[in-house]
Amino acid sequence: MTNGFTNRQEMLSKMRAGEHLDWDIIVVGGGITGAGVLREARRRGYRALLLEQQDFSWGTSSRSSKMVHGGLRYLAAGDLKLTKESVEERERLLTEAPGLVDRIAFYFTFRKGLFPGRLAMSIILAIYDFLAGIKDHRYCKNNELLAQFPGLDTTQLKGASYYTDAMVDDSRLVMRVIQDSIENGAHALNYTKVKNLVLKNGQTAGVTIEESDTGNTIDLSAAAVINATGAWADRLRNEFTDDKRIRPLRGSHLIFAQSLYPVTNVMTFLHQDDKRGVYVYPWEGTTVLGTTDLDHQEDLDIEASISDQEIEYLLNGFNRQFPNNQLSRTDILSSWAGVRPVIGADQGKDPSKERRDHAVWSDHGLITVSGGKLTTFRLIALDALAAAAEQLPTPTVVTDHRMFVSPEFTAAQLIPENPLWAQRLMGRYGAKAQQLLKQSSAQEQLSLGDTQFSLAECRWSVKYEGVIHLDDLLLRRTRLGMCLAKGGEEIMPALKNIFQQEQQWNEDRWNSEYKRYQTIWQRYYSLPNSL
C-alpha cells in the first residue's frame, strides 16, 4: 500500500537500470478509459502499467460536461442497450462513490412548436427510469420552473420535464480510479510519452517510452498493449495503417460566478439557432453554460480552447432564454473546451447525430479502445480486456466487482461538524481522506472562495498525487484555476509556500511554473486573444 501515486523519477530510474521492463499489460492514455482498463487489469492480477504523455486526465477526461448520465438522446434514437448500460452504471457510481458522483435534478423545458414535447418526453423518461430501476420523472408547471430558474422567458413556455441524473468532477474520478489501482499494485506514470511501438514478428510486443524532461528512451515489453488515447487513438494505430476511425468533436463551456445567475439544478433548453440542447448548471460554486458540438480541426497536441463563435453561440442562447439576466464576455470567469473521440469519419454528418458508443479493435496485436461515454468507463474497460484476452495469461477470478470500496469510517465519524464536506472528501480520496485531514491545519481546511476546495487538498495533491507542474494542481487535481477569479491569483502566495515545503521548489522554479501556468490559463481557459 502507498500514500500516493507511483514515484515517477524512482520508477524511471529503475527502468533505466533494467528493472520493471516486462509487463502483462501496458495501457497508453491516462484519461478515464485508460484508468478504467488499469483498474480492471490489476483486479485480475495482471502486472499493469499506465503511461500518459501529459498529465493524468489532461485531455477529454478533465473537459467533459461533468455529467454522469444515461443519455436520453440515445434512448430517443432507439438505442435501448446503450441506455440501459448507462443508467445501470450511473446508479452503480452513485452507490459506490457518493460525494464524488452525486444525483442532481434536471429540468427539460418545453416551448410551443418545438420537439420533443411533453408527451414524447414523458414516454422517454418513463422508459429511462424503468431501465434504471427508479421513478424520478414528472411534469412541472411554469411556476415551479420559474422558482428554480428566475427570469426565464415565458413566451410559449409550456413547463418542463423533471428527472434526475448525476454530476461528477471528471478529473477527480480519473484520479480516484488510478489511486485505487495503485493501492492494488498497479503503476501509473504521467509525463511519459510512448514514442513508438516495439514489434516482434510484425506484432505489437511493447512500447518505447520517452521521458519528457530528459528525452531518454526505454524499451518496455508487454503481452498486451492497450491504446486508450481517445481522440489521439489513430496516431498510435497509424504505425500500421492509414485508416482513420476517430472524428474529434469539440465541446466548449463558459463559467460564471454563481452570483451572476445562481442555480442549484440543471436546466436544458433548445438553442434557437440549431435546436441543440444547451445546459445551465451549478458546478463547484460556479454556474456553467454549455456545450457546443463542432468538428475540431486543430492540432490535438495543443490544448483545445473555446472560439469566439462558440462564445457568441452560448451567450446568445442564454440571453434569449433569460432576457432580464443578460450575460456578456466581461462576465465570463473562465472557460474550457474538450475534444470528444467519436467513432465515425463522416465529416458531412451533423456532429450532434454521431453515435457516442465505443469501439474496440486490433491492429497487429495493438488493442485500441475509443469512443464511449464517461458513465460506462468500467464496461468499456472490460471490453478492451476481453479483446486482449488471447494475448494475456490466465486472469485471477474477480469476485468483488465494485469499482470503489467505501472507507471503513463514516462521514459523520470523519468530520462530525460537517458530514457533507466529509462525504465529498471520501468520494474524492477514499480512505485517504482521513490522512489528508490529519496532515493539514484547521486553517488549510477552510473553503476557498465560493468553492468547496481547500488548501488541505492542495497540499495532499502536491505531496502524494504526482503533481509535476502548477497547472496539474490548479486545472486537474483541483479546479481552483477555473473557479476562482483570474485563475486563482489570490491563493498563489499560499500555493508557493506549499510547493516550497512539499517539493522544495526554489524561487526560480516557482517563477517559471507560475509563468507557465499563466500562459496556459490565459490561452486555453480564459477567452480568445486574452494574451
339 forms beta bridges with 250
State the Cα–Cα distance between residues 474 and 480, nearest whole angstrom: 5
Q: Residue 229: which H helix or E strand, with range?
A: none
Q: What is the number of residues in the chain?
A: 531
State the Cα–Cα distance between residues 421 and 457, nearest whole angstrom: 12
Strands (E) in 91-238, as ranges, are: 101-111, 138-140, 157-168, 187-189, 192-200, 203-211, 217-227
CA distances from 299 to 55, 212, 292 (A): 18, 19, 19
**Dihedral (C-alpha) 330, 518, 467, 301: value to the nearest 10 degrees?**
90
Q: Is the dihedral of CA 256, 108, 98, 92 positive or negative?
A: negative
- Measuring CA to CA, which residue among 329, 314, 327, 321 is closest to residue 261? 327
Say which amino acid occupies 76.
A
**Assessment of whether the complete model's pTM goes beyond 0.75:** yes
Q: Cell 484547521 belongs to which residue?
A: 442
**Which pLDDT score is estimated for 1?**
47
- Write out pLDDT tens, residues 57-90: 999 999 999 999 887 877 877 888 889 999 999 9
CA distances from 365 to 25, 41, 185, 197, 390 (A): 12, 17, 25, 11, 10
454 forms beta bridges with 447
Neighbours of 396 (CB within 10 A): 11
**Considering the domain 8-60+171-245+355-391 in this protein, what is its CATH number?**
3.50.50.60
Kindly state the DSSP code that residue 20 receives in the 8-state scheme: S
**Which pLDDT score is estimated for 79?**
82
Q: Is the dihedral of CA 225, 228, 229, 231 positive or negative?
A: positive
State the Cα–Cα distance between residues 95 and 196, nearest whole angstrom: 40
Cell numbers found for residue 520: 496556459
**Which pLDDT score is estimated for 531?**
43
Say which amino acid occupies 126.
A
**Dihedral (C-alpha) 230, 231, 235, 236: value to the nearest 10 degrees?**
0
**Dihedral (C-alpha) 86, 87, 92, 98: value to the nearest 10 degrees?**
110
State the Cα–Cα distance between residues 383 and 372, nearest whole angstrom: 12
| Domain residue limits, the chain | 8-60+171-245+355-391, 98-167+248-353, 439-525
State the Cα–Cα distance between residues 460 and 197, nearest whole angstrom: 35
269 forms beta bridges with 278
Kindly state the DSSP code that residue 456 receives in the 8-state scheme: H
State the Cα–Cα distance between residues 492 and 56, nearest whole angstrom: 23
Based on C-alpha coordinates, what's the Rg of the chain? Answer: 23
Q: Where are the alpha helices (DSSP H) in 341-491?
A: 377-387, 411-414, 419-429, 433-438, 455-464, 470-472, 480-483
**Which pLDDT score is estimated for 215?**
86
Q: How many CA atoms lie within 13 A of 183 on its CB side?
A: 17
Q: Is 394 exposed, middle or buried (0-12, 13-18, 19+ CB in 10 A)?
A: exposed
- Measuring CA to CA, which residue among 405, 406, 429, 426 is closest to residue 415? 426
Contact 227, 237 (CB under 8 A): yes
State the Cα–Cα distance between residues 517 and 56, nearest whole angstrom: 17
CA distances from 376 to 33, 88, 293, 435 (A): 9, 9, 21, 30
**Which pLDDT score is estimated for 5?**
94
For the chain (531 residues), the mean pLDDT of every run of 10, in chain order, is 84 96 98 98 98 96 94 80 92 96 97 90 93 93 96 96 97 97 96 95 96 88 97 88 87 97 97 94 97 92 94 98 96 97 65 65 94 93 96 93 91 96 98 96 97 98 98 98 98 98 98 98 88 43
For residue 303, give the 3-state DSSP assignment.
coil
As a three-state string, the secondary structure of 252-286 is EEEEEEHHHCCCCCEEEEECCCCCCEEEEEEECCE
Residue 247: CB partners within 8 Å, gap ≥ 6? 295, 342, 343, 344, 345, 346, 347, 351, 354
**Considering the domain 98-167+248-353 in this protein, what is its CATH number?**
3.30.9.10
The C-alpha angle 139, 143, 149, rounded to 5 degrees, equals: 90
State the Cα–Cα distance between residues 10 and 18, nearest whole angstrom: 13
